[in-house]
């Protein structure tokens, strides 16, 4: 186990699977106490047990990030259990709409922005006083390369991820005055449950790989190392950045 984050506390949302779990595990391996969360208690229990077996100091709680009472409870539980918060990783996202963007319903837009955008902002708002009280820290938002180059059948989701880049830029100066850095990562196609429609269909996968110079899909661990770096003292002069993790896929807004 590393000591880079010894004495530090990290809160990671949607952290019982995929990218979120990889991030929580890496921060824990690097010495942080980790508060994980999911919408399902069974997933929380399974993941906490798994991380503890890996000698990671972990605790978890059910949190539906679109609910204000759940967001507050998550932060309060981290402070109660571990004594404070130094790092926030906002990873939770939803996408109820697949198909042409022009056909996206109002209810789908509401769900996507409620979960992906508003909840991310209010998680930051909820965490900032706790982080500031510890002398400062780091916030990392998990966005998507779709925020730069929208994916065809998940256009509204992609636009929500573009908005997260704006949140990072908008909060940079305010949070710097509190000694808090904020950045986002923009993963490309990472092999998770969310991307199975792209990665598990051989014909679709081969077509997508033509656009990835690294010639492979990403792994959740390809994101976790960058988050650990951004949350660490090694990144002390990096804030307000949206960093792509895509194996070389085109990424320009």
The residue annotated as part of the active site, out of 5, 82, 148, 157, is 157
Under 8 Å between Cβ of 100 and 147: no
Taking every pair of Cα atoms in the chain, the longest distance, rounded to a whole number of angstroms, is 52
Could you confirm whether 157 is annotated as catalytic?
yes
Nearest to 59 by CA among 41, 27, 35, 39: 35
Nearest to 65 by CA among 133, 14, 130: 14
Distance of alpha carbon 160 from the chain centroid: 14
Residues with catalytic roles? 157
């Amino acid at each position: 186990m590393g000591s880079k984050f010894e004495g530090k506390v990290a809160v990671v949302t949607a952290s019982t699977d995929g990218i979120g779990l990889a991030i929580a595990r890496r921060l824990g391996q690097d010495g942080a106490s980790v508060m994980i969360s999911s919408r399902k208690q069974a997933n929380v229990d399974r993941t906490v047990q798994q991380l503890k077996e890996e000698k990671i100091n972990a605790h978890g709680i059910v949190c539906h990030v679109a609910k204000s009472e759940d967001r507050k409870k998550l932060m309060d539980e981290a402070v109660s259990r571990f004594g404070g918060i130094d790092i926030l990783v906002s990873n939770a996202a939803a996408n109820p709409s697949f198909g042409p963007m022009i056909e996206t319903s109002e209810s789908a837009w509401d769900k996507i922005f409620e979960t992906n955008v508003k909840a991310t902002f209010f998680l930051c708002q909820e965490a900032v006083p706790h982080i500031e009280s510890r002398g400062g820290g780091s916030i990392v938002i998990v966005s998507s390369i779709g925020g730069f180059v929208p994916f065809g059948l998940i256009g509204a989701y992609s636009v929500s991820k573009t908005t997260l880049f704006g949140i990072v830029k908008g909060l940079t100066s305010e949070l710097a005055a509190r000694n808090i850095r904020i950045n986002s990562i923009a993963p490309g196609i990472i092999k998770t449950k969310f991307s199975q429609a792209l990665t598990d269909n051989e014909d679709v996968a081969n077509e997508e790989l033509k656009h990835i110079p690294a010639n492979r899909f990403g792994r959740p661990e390809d994101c976790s190392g960058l988050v650990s770096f951004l949350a660490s003292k090694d990144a002390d002069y990096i804030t307000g950045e949206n960093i792509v993790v895509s194996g070389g896929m085109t990424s320009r807004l």
